[in-house]
Amino acid sequence: MASNEYPFVPLRWTRMSPAESLERAKTFRESMASRRSVRDFSPEPIPDGVLEDAIACAAGAPSGANQQPWTFVVVTDPALKAKLREAAEAEERESYARRMSEEWLEALAPLGTDWHKPHFTDAPAIIVVFEQVYGVKPLPEGGVKKVKHYYVQESVGIAVGFLIAALTQAGLATLTHTPSPMGFLREVLGRPENERAFAVLPVGYPAPGARVPDIGKKPLHEVLVRR
């Protein structure tokens, strides 16, 4: 064994019958198909422990060289949520008015989004996901060494997928929000220089009477190709 190799252990694995595989695949598919991006949240609190489990699930995602280049910041403090809303709305107001192309605005028009971001203050929790562009390793002699991270965006994208799936399974609604530009998030949340905001996920229960656009997903035959 090379001295820099991890010790290897037997894979822990339970074989599932084909019937159970099919049943579970179908059940999971159906429950995930009911997921919608929600913009109208109720302020009702999230049961204790659910966010922790969902984030632990996300943090178990595969990542480049197992570097786990992510940080999940959970914001529940009303004053901090208000501050985030104010900063996000200032950026979005500028984006919708001046920075986004006509083509981009046209692509979004059917969804009815605009610069108002009430989800920041309505949702009981906001999860801000940061990517660690590089790692920071403390040196024995003091100071730190920058560690190169690989496939950061792919890794964090997969982790966010796990997170959304976990929250959906726990009966919670989310929005995948990418305010643009996102620099204010690192500042307001006091995160270090090696972290860059990747996405903002308001989490909670939908407001009574919440509405969503009547959109669907492409049929399987359009997205599944066999060779």
Q: Which of these segments, 140-148, 163-171, 175-183, 191-199, binds ligand IYR (CB under 6 A)?
A: 175-183
Q: What is the DSSP letter of 97?
A: I
Site membership for ligand IYR, residue 202 (CB under 6 A): no
Q: Strand locations in 84-189, DSSP E?
A: 125-132, 134-138, 144-148, 173-174
* Cα 12 off chain centre by: 28
Nearest to ligand IYR of 91, 195 (CB atom): 91
Site for ligand IYR in 99-118 (CB under 6 A): 108, 113
Nearest to ligand IYR of 179, 204 (CB atom): 179
Backbone angles phi, psi at 10, to 5 degrees: -60, 140
Q: Which of these segments, 70-78, 160-168, 174-182, 191-199, binds ligand IYR (CB under 6 A)?
A: 174-182
What amino acid occupies position 123?
Answer: A
Closest contact distance (angstroms) between CB of 198 and ligand IYR is 13
Q: Do 203 and 125 meet the contact criterion of CB atoms below 8 Å apart?
A: yes
Nearest to ligand IYR of 108, 144 (CB atom): 108
* Cα 197 off chain centre by: 10
Separation of alpha carbons 53 and 161, rounded Å: 14
Q: Which strand ranges, in their side-by-side order, compose the sheet holding 125-132?
A: 70-75, 125-132, 195-204, 173-174
Question: Residues 43-82 vs ligand IYR: string with x where CB under 6 A?
Answer: ----------------------------------------
Nearest to ligand IYR of 113, 169 (CB atom): 113
Phi-psi region of 17 (alpha: psi -120 to 50; beta: other; left: phi over 0): beta
Q: Which of 44, 178, 211, 212 binds ligand IYR (CB under 6 A)?
A: 178
Nearest to ligand IYR of 89, 206 (CB atom): 89
Site membership for ligand IYR, residue 91 (CB under 6 A): no
Q: Do 126 and 202 meet the contact criterion of CB atoms below 8 Å apart?
A: yes
Binding site for ligand IYR (CB under 6 A): 92, 108, 113, 177-180
